[in-house]
């Protein structure tokens, strides 16, 4: 008797029931991420306004080799000992916090006027891992809750779900965050015996709304967070991509009280395929009243049990790109920023041309970023998306995916980052045909 | 008034209390990982038997470039369309499951006689992320528990702690796993109203014990797991590194009932700095009685919220190395395996020479792998480790780190993987001096 036949006759097979697996696996947030990632692949003929992917521009694989060489030369520094350091750093497991924290710190100082000790930075596998680390640390027990501007990026909702941390939505309003609602939600949560830990938001060109906080609102938010004694989790993937207006200071650059945990990413500004993000967590931590380091030190312990460390090879590629650009990525992204701005204006003009006032179709007008929100006079759900993709060959993202509960039923997100003006026109023609189709049916 | 002075006068600063952060941060398992990672750096003059790091052998940074080119050529396949595919796959976010699953599947078929659909494989950021994914999926509520052979790798204990999943220790015994104890622990847990989900073990050259399961024990474990209806989580980082004896079949290669979740890693066999691991999770999953895919599909949802996807650049480097070696890594590791075997024998001989029978010092005799366990006639704790590092310039790992509760107080782990025979001799001389020192004091 062979081993295989022995096994197959003697042993019952395994079947798992989804009901016996973690609840997140039945949660809309986790299903959303997969749907959004894969819908465009399912309909390759459609024009897709769905993915918030950066445009590869002139990227060539040779860039990866060149970045890697730039980092290698920097570490080698012309010495034999340096060459051995570079070899070991690339080959071996590295420090959990990362091998390019110093380069990230120089980049933050150059581009964002954020000045922090590199030891308060953790280099993560994309910004997503940084979210998981922060939320895992902050979720101590079932009383803890996270606040997040609503509609929210699905990544924060999903990360919260993975660590069993409820999310209390805070209205985005038209200013990016409704501070009165934030205060009310914190008060309400406390009255319910809950412990609000932090408020997550994307202050610049938010996903999915495209909204940005103006400067006075940034100051007021920091004041309010101090008053309420909650942390701010600032996520800043799109900050460079303003269309003309002067960049606004990040919350972290205005933060003198260690109030802000700052999440950054090189996915949109350098190279998604390296999957390099980071978190600045300079909050002091005490244990039994004594100083015990910073939140970054605590996050490092958690990271050691999630990914051990971020692939040094991927860090080295990003490190080389930072070196090659003298740490000035805003400047390095000037062409990309202009390209995204042109696409945004093309999209706004295209909507105005196809839906002249008065129209049952409306939209907001972000001054930068990758996204805008369209309001339609019908329910824009996943079924309509499938119909739209199949029948009209145009894909968009139903806004309901970005709401924890009700909300966004008659709204959809359009992403412009990966579409040429020609594709935008074609996509908008198809979208207009969908609207006509739907209006004729109602 | 400047913004900074406005802020610093108006806003109280943030201080976090460790008591308000997740309990894992005060857990010995998470502190162990950091201690073990950093002790060697703190005492650079010491000979360190602590880290289980692979030996870089002849690794050169140029290898990374060559691997990347091999993968690029493979995907490009001499066509313009292929070149565009390679560029996009390297630049963009990729599928959550990975971009080299097909290459991993061919490697498993070649080296391990494991034949699985590539769609049941997830490429992860090291094997550690795979552990987190599996444990997160299996921990549905507070009744779930994990079984793990004890002493255990700290990574599985830490991952379990992060998802609030208690670990029930199962005696390793002298056979790698005590099957009677496994059956008793499952029975006991069920009687206590708990739900044992899976048993984690390293069947080949376990960390920290160096023990391997013989072939009959492997069959009996699979029979018992089916009888008990629990999953087996097989972790196999060291399987190639047997010292002479014929390789034993992995549990997964004997598994005809989807009973085994298989965790793999290229950290020890190719390149730690790529941080590429994987999980094979071909278990069918049902929802409401209907087939809903495999466990790999569910793990993919979780991964989309932890790291989104594994850096394609790091995957491409490993993919290129697999291609360059015709998927036969066991063969490609022949020199490394011989080197580790030589070091293991040198370590065993060196112990025998320094502690001739009868001796109060004992040790086990693994037939491969990176580790062995030494028993000493005194408590070998972290304080003694610090003393040993400072006074005798030799570092080892206290075994108590690998026990959930009591255990291992008078044992220590020696790792041989990164030490030349000369270093092993020097380290053993120093270790013998430590023993003499301690025996003189008692």
Burial class, A421, CB count within 10 angstroms (exposed 0-12 / middle 13-18 / buried 19+): middle
| CA B368 to centroid of chain Cα atoms | 16
DSSP B380: -
Q: Residue B337: which of B231, B195, B236, B241 has the closest Cα?
A: B241
Domain ranges of chain B: 19-57+334-441, 63-331
CATH topology for A16-57+334-441 is 3.90.1150
Give the separation between CA B151 and CA A324, rounded to whole angstroms: 47
Q: Residue B333: which of B370, B290, B287, B372 has the closest Cα?
A: B370
- Write out A304-317 in H/E/C secondary structure: CCCCCCCCHHHHHH
Provide mean pLDDT across the span B250-270: 96
B339, pLDDT greater than 90 = yes
Q: Cα–Cα distances in Å, from A83 out to A87, A88, A313?
A: 6, 9, 15
Provide the pLDDT for residue B34. 72
Q: How confident is the model at residue B10 (pLDDT cuts 50, 70, 90)?
A: low
Contact in structure between B161 and B24 (CB atoms under 8 Å) = yes
**Among the partner residues A22, A53, A56, nearest to B137 by beta-carbon distance:** A22
Contact in structure between A311 and A319 (CB atoms under 8 Å) = no
Contacts of B310 in chain A (CB under 8 A): 125, 275
Provide the pLDDT for residue A93. 86
> Cβ contact (<8 Å) for B267 and A93?
yes
Provide mean pLDDT across the span B413-428: 97
Rg of chain A over all Cα atoms, to the nearest angstrom: 23
Provide mean pLDDT across the span A321-338: 97
Q: How confident is the model at residue B12 (pLDDT cuts 50, 70, 90)?
A: confident
Of residues A15 and A349, which shows the higher confidence score?
A349
Provide the pLDDT for residue B31. 79
Residue of A nearest to B17 (CA): A286
> Cβ contact (<8 Å) for A17 and B273?
no
B332 touches chain A (CB under 8 A): no
Provide the pLDDT for residue B195. 97
A75, pLDDT greater than 80 = yes
Give the separation between CA B195 and CA B292, rounded to whole angstroms: 23
B9, pLDDT greater than 80 = no
Q: Residue A419: which of A52, A154, A153, A38 has the closest Cα?
A: A52
Considering the segment(s) B19-57+334-441 as one domain, its CATH architecture is: Alpha-Beta Complex (3.90)
Residues paired with residue A261 on neighbouring β-strands, in sequence order? A233
B20 touches chain A (CB under 8 A): yes
Provide the pLDDT for residue A289. 87
Residue of B nearest to A294 (CA): B16
pLDDT digits (tens, 9 = 90+) for B45-69: 999 999 889 999 999 999 999 999 9
C-alpha distance from B297 to closest chain A C-alpha (Å): 10
Number of helices (H), then strands (E), in chain A: 15, 16
- The tokens describing A394, both together, are 């145009």
pLDDT digits (tens, 9 = 90+) for B149-183: 999 999 999 999 999 999 999 999 999 999 999 99
B8, pLDDT greater than 70 = no
Provide mean pLDDT across the span B101-121: 98
The edge-to-edge listing of strands for the beta sheet with A290-294 is A290-294, A284-287, B16-17
Per-residue exposure over A145-165, b if at least 16 CB sit within 10 Å of its own CB, e if not: bbbbbbbbbbbbbbbbbbbbb
B338 touches chain A (CB under 8 A): no
Q: Residue B130: which of B280, B30, B19 has the closest Cα?
A: B280
Give the separation between CA A411 and CA A404, rounded to whole angstroms: 15
C-alpha distance from A130 to closest chain B C-alpha (Å): 9
A9, pLDDT greater than 70 = no
Provide the pLDDT for residue A10. 62
Q: Can you tell me whether residue B214 is helix, strand or coil?
A: coil
Complex ipTM value: 0.95
> Cβ contact (<8 Å) for A12 and B229?
yes
Give the separation between CA A131 and CA A200, rounded to whole angstroms: 10
Provide the pLDDT for residue A29. 78
B302 touches chain A (CB under 8 A): yes
- The tokens describing A175, both together, are 């200013």
pLDDT digits (tens, 9 = 90+) for A222-265: 999 999 999 999 999 999 999 888 899 999 999 989 999 999 99
Chain A, window 114-143: residues with a beta carbon less than 8 angstroms from a chain B beta carbon: 125-126, 128-129, 132, 136-140
Number of other CB atoms surrounding residue A245 within 10 Å? 9
DSSP string, A314-336: HHHHHHHHHHHTTT-HHHHTHHH
B318 touches chain A (CB under 8 A): no
A/B interface, count of CB pairs below 8 Å: 340
Lowest mean per-residue pLDDT among B123-127, B214-218, B290-294: B290-294
pLDDT digits (tens, 9 = 90+) for A148-182: 999 999 999 999 999 999 999 999 999 999 999 99
pLDDT digits (tens, 9 = 90+) for B178-228: 999 999 999 999 999 999 999 999 999 999 999 999 999 999 999 999 999
> Cβ contact (<8 Å) for B273 and A20?
no
A94, pLDDT greater than 90 = no
Question: Using CA of residue A285, residue A287, residue A290, residue A292, what is the dihedral sign?
Answer: negative
Residue of B nearest to A32 (CA): B301
Q: How confident is the model at residue B4 (pLDDT cuts 50, 70, 90)?
A: very low
Give the separation between CA A251 and CA A248, rounded to whole angstroms: 9
Chain B, window 267-296: residues with a beta carbon less than 8 angstroms from a chain A beta carbon: 267, 271-276, 283-287, 292, 295
According to DSSP, the β-strands at A231-235 and A195-201 are parallel
Per-residue exposure over B330-356, b if at least 16 CB sit within 10 Å of its own CB, e if not: bebbeebbebbbebbebbbebbeebbe
Contacts of A159 in chain B (CB under 8 A): 305-306
> Cβ contact (<8 Å) for B312 and A273?
yes
> Cβ contact (<8 Å) for B126 and A14?
no
Q: Residue B121: which of B332, B266, B239 has the closest Cα?
A: B266
C-alpha distance from B435 to closest chain A C-alpha (Å): 31
> Cβ contact (<8 Å) for A305 and B158?
yes
Contact in structure between A413 and A205 (CB atoms under 8 Å) = no
A222 touches chain B (CB under 8 A): yes
Chain B, window 138-177: residues with a beta carbon less than 8 angstroms from a chain A beta carbon: 138-140, 155, 158-159, 161-164
* Mutation choice for A interface testing from B25, B305, B318, B320 by most A CBs within 10 A: B305
Provide the pLDDT for residue A8. 44
Provide the pLDDT for residue B332. 96
Provide the pLDDT for residue A240. 94
Contacts of A23 in chain B (CB under 8 A): 140
Residue of B nearest to A73 (CA): B61
Number of other CB atoms surrounding residue A203 within 10 Å? 27
Q: How confident is the model at residue A12 (pLDDT cuts 50, 70, 90)?
A: confident
* Mutation choice for A interface testing from B5, B17, B22 by most A CBs within 10 A: B22
> Cβ contact (<8 Å) for B59 and A14?
no
Contact in structure between A424 and A350 (CB atoms under 8 Å) = yes
Provide the pLDDT for residue A326. 98
Question: What's the number of CA atoms in the CB half-sphere (13 Å) around residue A256?
Answer: 13
A223 touches chain B (CB under 8 A): yes
A19 touches chain B (CB under 8 A): yes
**Among the partner residues B129, B272, B317, nearest to A306 by beta-carbon distance:** B129
Contact in structure between B305 and A30 (CB atoms under 8 Å) = yes
Give the separation between CA B337 and CA B335, rounded to whole angstroms: 5
How are the residues of chain B apportioned to helix, strand and coil, as percentages rounded to the nearest 5? 50, 15, 35
Contact in structure between A98 and A264 (CB atoms under 8 Å) = no
Give the separation between CA A171 and CA A201, rounded to whole angstroms: 11
* Mutation choice for A interface testing from B123, B146, B275 by most A CBs within 10 A: B275
To the nearest whole number, what is the mean pLDDT of chain A?
94
pLDDT digits (tens, 9 = 90+) for A366-391: 999 999 999 999 999 999 999 999 99
Contacts of A302 in chain B (CB under 8 A): 22, 24-25, 30, 162
C-alpha distance from B403 to closest chain A C-alpha (Å): 17
**Among the partner residues A15, A125, A274, nearest to B307 by beta-carbon distance:** A125
Provide the pLDDT for residue B252. 98
> Cβ contact (<8 Å) for A65 and B68?
yes
**Among the partner residues B8, B136, B300, nearest to A22 by beta-carbon distance:** B136
* Mutation choice for B interface testing from A114, A275, A315 by most B CBs within 10 A: A275
> Cβ contact (<8 Å) for A273 and B308?
no
- The tokens describing A21, both together, are 């697996």
Residue of A nearest to B18 (CA): A287
**Among the partner residues A18, A272, A276, nearest to B93 by beta-carbon distance:** A272
CATH topology for B63-331 is 3.40.640
B194 touches chain A (CB under 8 A): no
B405, pLDDT greater than 50 = yes
> Cβ contact (<8 Å) for A286 and B15?
yes
Provide the pLDDT for residue B266. 97
Provide the pLDDT for residue B86. 96
Give the separation between CA A267 and CA A235, rounded to whole angstroms: 13
Provide the pLDDT for residue B11. 79
> Cβ contact (<8 Å) for A158 and B304?
yes
Residue of A nearest to B30 (CA): A301
Provide mean pLDDT across the span B264-270: 96
Residue of A nearest to B229 (CA): A14
C-alpha distance from A59 to closest chain B C-alpha (Å): 8
* Mutation choice for A interface testing from B165, B259, B301, B317 by most A CBs within 10 A: B301
Q: Can you tell me whether residue B95 is helix, strand or coil?
A: coil
Of residues B121 and B2, which shows the higher confidence score?
B121
Contact in structure between A419 and A343 (CB atoms under 8 Å) = yes
């Amino acid at each position: 008797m062979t081993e295989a036949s022995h096994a197959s006759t003697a042993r019952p097979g395994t079947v798992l029931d989804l009901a016996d697996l973690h609840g997140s696996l039945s949660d809309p947030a986790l299903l959303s991420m997969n749907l959004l990632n894969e819908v465009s692949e399912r309909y390759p003929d459609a024009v897709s306004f769905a993915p918030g992917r950066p445009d590869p521009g002139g990227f060539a694989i040779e860039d990866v080799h060149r970045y890697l060489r730039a980092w290698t030369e920097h570490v080698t520094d012309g010495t034999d000992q340096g060459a051995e350091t570079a070899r070991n750093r690339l080959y071996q497991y590295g420090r959990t916090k990362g091998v390019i924290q110093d380069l990230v710190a120089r980049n933050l100082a150059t581009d964002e006027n954020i000045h922090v000790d590199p030891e308060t930075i953790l280099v993560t596998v994309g910004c997503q891992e940084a979210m998981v680390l922060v939320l895992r640390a902050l979720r101590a027990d079932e009383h803890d809750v996270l606040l997040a501007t609503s509609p929210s990026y699905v990544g924060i909702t999903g990360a919260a779900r993975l660590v069993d941390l409820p999310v209390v939505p805070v209205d985005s309003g038209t200013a990016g965050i409704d501070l009165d609602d934030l205060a009310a939600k914190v008060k309400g949560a406390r009255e319910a015996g809950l412990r609000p830990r932090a408020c997550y938001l994307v202050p610049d060109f938010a996903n999915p709304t495209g909204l940005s906080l103006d400067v006075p609102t940034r100051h007021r938010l920091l004041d309010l967070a101090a008053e309420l004694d909650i942390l701010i989790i600032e996520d800043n993937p799109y900050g460079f991509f303003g269309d003309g207006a002067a960049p606004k200071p990040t919350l972290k650059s205005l933060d003198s009280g260690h109030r802000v945990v700052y999440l950054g990413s090189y996915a949109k500004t350098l190279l998604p395929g390296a999957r390099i993000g980071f978190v600045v967590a300079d909050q002091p931590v005490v244990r039994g009243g004594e100083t015990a380091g910073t939140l970054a030190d605590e996050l490092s312990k958690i990271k050691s049990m999630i990914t051990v460390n971020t692939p040094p090879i991927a860090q080295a590629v990003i490190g080389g790109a930072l070196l090659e650009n003298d740490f000035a990525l805003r400047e390095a992204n000037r062409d990309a920023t202009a390209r995204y701005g042109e696409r945004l204006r093309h999209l706004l003009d295209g909507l105005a041309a196809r839906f002249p006032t008065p129209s049952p179709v409306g939209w907001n007008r972000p001054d930068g970023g990758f996204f805008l929100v369209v309001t339609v006079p019908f329910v824009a759900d996943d079924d309509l998306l499938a119909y739209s993709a199949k029948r009209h060959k145009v894909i968009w993202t139903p806004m309901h995916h970005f709401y924890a509960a009700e909300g966004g039923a008659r709204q959809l997100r359009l992403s412009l980052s990966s579409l040429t003006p020609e594709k935008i026109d074609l996509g908008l023609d198809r979208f207009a045909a969908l609207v006509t189709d739907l209006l004729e049916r109602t």
